[in-house]
Amino acid sequence: MEVMVSYINKKTKTKRKIQESLLELMKTKKFEAITINDITTLIDINRSTFYRHYLDKYEVLEKIEDSILSEIINFHGTFIHSLPNKNIDVSFEIKDYITVDNNFFNIFEKHLGTMHILMSENGSITFQNKLNNTMLKVFERTFSLASLKLNNIEKDLLFNFQAASFISILYYWTEHPELTVQELFPFYSKIISTGLVNFVKENMK
């Protein structure tokens, strides 16, 4: 039993080292230009060790991406499940559902360094698409709690607007990692709560 546990731990550690190697290389080199030899040389393992754990570099990247996105989906699923009222009426306020200590920014904060790499020009366009699709699903599921008087096109536009605005703030955050959740969340939730026009009016000199 101890031997099996030791083997599993070693395998997990090696997989993590390979992922970290790829991310380290992507700080200065485009993903498409990175080779298996680059990855193995950086962490001093041979190619056979790499192929015992991954099929290719694309699988390594996919595991990194999917780990973060799965955490988002799981967080949102738990959030929806925990709601005492699964129907949102016109009197709802954002603060009644999400707080500075319980929101998506908290999840992304843990992965900000990785997100910076994945969303950079050295990352893969597939991640941009996967992130967008994930946030679309999240907001679609969230808005399904409300009875919206919108047709399908209007709903699609709403979900895409919400996803795009959130991802834009997330991208800005990866470029300015000194910002905290306590700074970003109130700003973001205020715009969402009051609407862009009202937010601008409230902050005019």
Closest by Cα among 62, 56, 28, 59 to 40:
56
Whole-number average pLDDT of the chain: 87
CATH of domain 1-54: 1.10.10
Q: Residues 129-149: what's their mean pLDDT?
A: 88
Give me the torsion for CA of 82, 128, 112, 23, rounded to 10°. Answer: 130
Q: What percent of the chain has pLDDT over 70?
A: 87
Q: pLDDT of 148-180, one tens digit each? A: 888 999 999 999 999 999 999 999 999 999 999
List all residues 6 or more positions away from 38 whose beta carbon is below 8 Å from its beta carbon: 25, 29
d(CA 60, CA 148): 40
Grade residue 7 by pLDDT with cuts at 50, 70 and 90. very low
Number of CB atoms found within 10 A of residue 205's CB: 2
Per-residue pLDDT at 84: 67
Q: pLDDT of 32-88, one tens digit each? A: 999 999 999 999 999 999 999 999 999 999 999 999 999 999 988 887 787 766 676
Q: Are 49 and 7 in contact (CB under 8 A)?
A: no
d(CA 114, CA 127): 12
Per-residue pLDDT at 94: 65
Per-residue pLDDT at 90: 65
Which residues, in sequence order, are bridge partners of residue 146? 88
d(CA 5, CA 76): 32
Closest by Cα among 31, 35, 58, 59 to 47:
35
Grade residue 3 by pLDDT with cuts at 50, 70 and 90. very low
Residue 21 has pLDDT above 70, yes or no: yes
d(CA 17, CA 54): 12
Residue 5 has pLDDT above 60, yes or no: no
Per-residue pLDDT at 194: 83
Q: Are 60 and 39 in contact (CB under 8 A)?
A: yes
Closest by Cα among 95, 112, 82 to 188:
95
- 71-96 in b/e form (b: 16+ CB < 10 A) is ebeebbeebeeeeeeeebeeeeeeee
Per-residue pLDDT at 31: 96
Residue 6 has pLDDT above 80, yes or no: no
Q: pLDDT of 78-129, one tens digit each? A: 877 877 666 766 666 666 666 667 788 888 999 999 999 999 999 988 899 9
